[in-house]
Amino acid sequence: MTAPLPTPLPTPLISTAELAARLGEVLLIDASFDLANPAAGRAAFARAHLPGAVYAHLDEDLSSAKTGSNGRHPLPERALLTHKLGAWGVAPGRAVVVYDRNGGMYAARAWWLLRWLGHAAVTVLDGGLDAWQRAGGAVQAGEAVAPVLAGAAPYPAGESLVGSVDADTLARSLGQVCLVDARAPERYRGDVEPLDPVAGHIPGALNRLFKDNLAADGRFLPAEQLRAAWAPLIGATPAAEVIHQCGSGVTACHNILAMEVAGLGGSRLYPGSWSEWCADPARPVARG
């Protein structure tokens, strides 16, 4: 008798109840991080994480080296990322759940990267570790050292499931695409700039703070509310013509995830974002 196929993984979000029912079936990745203290996420993982989770560090695992002109969190080298994913146990078809303790801002980056490598069976835990613990979910402590599977093959990257654009392509497309900046309004306007050397935004960009995708309890707003919130911003623009950016290509993934939740799939990422854009003094800057 043929064994029944596993129930498809809820995507792009999974609830705590759905995860609890499938905990032994999925690979868990904790992407918690703190831009102001890069060691904080690993320390928080060591204090408490979902049972069996591995830890993914934004700088060390989910980004590549900075050159001064490629932004603060450049996309990781594909070959290196495939080796890390293979060592963590990610394999084609294996269900992966990513989470953080930051409202999904770093989990969304990990979710996007797995899809970038062609892995469709990945979803984000809605509400993250906080929601899991409020629901009575068990946690464990331990050092933030990912188990390395001896002799594990690299993840066999396939065709990307997400779209992206580089700085030159975006520069040629300004005024022809819907560009959405996920940073806080004061950074978008150029009133303050705590992280990058130049204040302001890419000309023509609209502003949608990524935190506005969340309800008060840290979970994503329901799909219909997100659709209603995004509609005035993107208007009749097809999702595939919407490009997302932020400071360094991290929280922009949160807006991409929110659009997916809203049923508006297919929008693209400008990975270098403002930190790459403003590194070239020849590129235009808008303020206000």
Active site residue 253: no
Catalytic site residue from 178, 246, 253, 278: 246
Find, among 24, 32, 33, 21, the residue nearest to 51 by Cα.
24
Active site residue ranges: 246
